[in-house]
Amino acid sequence: MRDRKHPEQGYRTCLGVIRLADKFGRDRLDAACKRALEINARSYSSVQSILKNGLDSRPRTRATEEPAITHTNIRGADYFH
């Protein structure tokens, strides 16, 4: 609510998120809100999208430290030293 220009906008967002429990259930809503906070997506549409796509029940994959592909033309930071 603090991120909104007017507190009323944040209040309406909170009510909308709470209303999602009627359709998806409390447990799923809690899991979706937790995931939304982890990815810094604090909007009604973000929480609703997480629920619609079933992302609340999937583990969140983290980015790896390794390069996305291995190729001879990709030399890395050591090449420039």
DSSP 56: G
Contact (Cβ atoms closer than 8 angstroms) between residue 44 and residue 75: no
pLDDT tens figures, 35-81? 999 999 888 999 999 999 999 988 877 666 666 677 777 777 777 76
Phi, psi of 59 (to 5 degrees): -70, 145
Q: Is the pTM of this model over 0.95?
A: no
- How many Å is the Cα radius of gyration of the chain? 19
- pLDDT for position 11: 86
- pLDDT for position 36: 93
